[in-house]
């Protein structure tokens, strides 16, 4: 991770404008104060980009328009918001005094798996930056010219040094669903955060005892141990996979 932070410093140094990407389903959780501080110190413009907006209701993210300035909503999947983002980058570059004949270097920063590479591809209109459901996929810097005057720099995702909250990482997708410890606890947290969402997706009743709900999903999906008992861990991992890949919304 230390190596990745060095890359972040380099990207900030080489950029004219910085984007900080935040996952629409976990905006607060994917905030990155360390990155924000570094950008602030550099005195370069920062645009907050809320990604994966196809996975949430508009009202959920609308509140961030006031909190984060400037802020652009995008969905790389639905190709929504990319023109607005391009225009916003041009505005911020102009404000920062970048000459109109000069290429604008744009650094794309954010947690692993928030959709940095996907955004670059959506801006470009074709796949140039490799993406994956496996978090930590981008390992190096990659420059992609997305428009005549715009060079986007893809970076490996970084998480704050102090960050040790594995439940949060599981929800963001920083930890792959296969590697998750205590997957049932992660699912229970998810059920608490988004009341009724998991139950609705799997077509089971909402219950007080959330462990029972996982059991019911296991039975419904036939995820069983050898003896026919519901396999809680495997079911919880399946739920986390469906969440991380955006099936549950």
Ligand X SMILES: Nc1nc2c(ncn2[C@@H]2O[C@H](COP(=O)(O)OP(=O)(O)OP(=O)(O)O)[C@@H](O)[C@H]2O)c(=O)[nH]1
Per CB under 5 A, does 117 bind Mg ion? Answer: yes
Q: Is the bond leading into 70 cis (omega within 30 degrees of zero)?
A: yes
> Which entry of ligand X, Mg ion, none binds 132, CB below 5 to 8 A by partner kind?
ligand X
| Whole-angstrom distance, CA of residue 129 vs CA of residue 36 | 24
The binding track of 128-157 with respect to Mg ion, each residue x by CB under 5 A or -, is ---------xx-------------------
**Alpha-carbon distances of 126 from 20, 76, 129, rounded to whole Å:** 22, 11, 9
Nearer to Mg ion, 44 or 116 (CB): 116
Nearest to 147 by CA among 96, 95, 88: 88
Nearer to ligand X, 130 or 212 (CB): 130
SS3 call for 230: strand
Residues in the chain, total:
249
Per CB under 6 A, does 32 bind ligand X? Answer: no
The number of residues that bind Mg ion (CB under 5 A) is 4
Q: Which residues of 97-116 are buried (b: 16+ CB within 10 A; e: fewer)?
A: ebeeeeebbbbbbbbbbbbb
Among the listed ranges 125-133, 145-153, 223-231, 232-240, the one in contact with ligand X (CB under 6 A) is 125-133
Among the listed ranges 87-95, 101-109, 115-123, 164-172, the one in contact with Mg ion (CB under 5 A) is 115-123
Give alpha helix (H) positions in 56-150: 58-62, 64-67, 82-95, 116-124
Q: Which residues contact 90 (CB under 8 A, 6 or more apart)?
A: 104, 149
Among the listed ranges 23-31, 57-65, 80-88, 113-121, the one in contact with Mg ion (CB under 5 A) is 113-121
> Which entry of Mg ion, ligand X, none binds 166, CB below 5 to 8 A by partner kind?
none
| Whole-angstrom distance, CA of residue 128 vs CA of residue 84 | 21
Nearer to ligand X, 75 or 105 (CB): 75
- Residues making contact with Mg ion (CB under 5 A): 116-117, 137-138
Positions touching ligand X (CB under 6 A) are: 51-52, 54-55, 75-77, 112-118, 131-133, 135-138, 156-157, 245-246
């Amino acid at each position: 991770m230390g190596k990745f932070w060095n890359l972040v410093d380099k990207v900030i140094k080489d950029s004219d404008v910085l984007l900080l990407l935040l996952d629409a389903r976990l905006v607060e959780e994917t905030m990155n104060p360390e990155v924000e501080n570094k950008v602030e110190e550099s005195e370069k413009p920062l645009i907050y980009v809320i990604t994966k907006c196809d996975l949430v209701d508009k009202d959920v993210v609308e509140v961030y328009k006031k909190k984060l300035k400037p802020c652009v909503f995008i969905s790389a999947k639905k190709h929504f918001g990319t023109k607005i983002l391009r225009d916003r980058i041009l505005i911020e570059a102009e404000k920062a005094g970048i000459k109109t004949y000069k290429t604008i270097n744009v650094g794309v920063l954010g947690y692993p798996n928030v959709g940095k590479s996907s955004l670059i591809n959506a801006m470009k209109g074709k796949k140039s930056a490799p993406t994956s459901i496996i978090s930590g996929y981008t390992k190096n810097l990659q420059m992609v010219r997305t428009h005549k005057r715009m060079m986007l720099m893809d970076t490996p995702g970084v998480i704050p040094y102090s960050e040790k909250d594995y439940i949060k990482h599981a929800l963001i997708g920083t930890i792959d669903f296969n590697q998750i410890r205590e997957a049932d606890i992660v699912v229970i947290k998810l059920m608490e955060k988004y009341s009724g969402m998991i139950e609705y997706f799997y077509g089971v009743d909402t219950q007080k005892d959330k462990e029972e709900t996982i059991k019911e999903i296991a039975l419904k999906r036939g995820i069983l141990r050898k003896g026919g008992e519901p396999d809680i861990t495997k079911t919880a991992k399946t739920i986390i996979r469906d969440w991380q890949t955006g099936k549950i919304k």
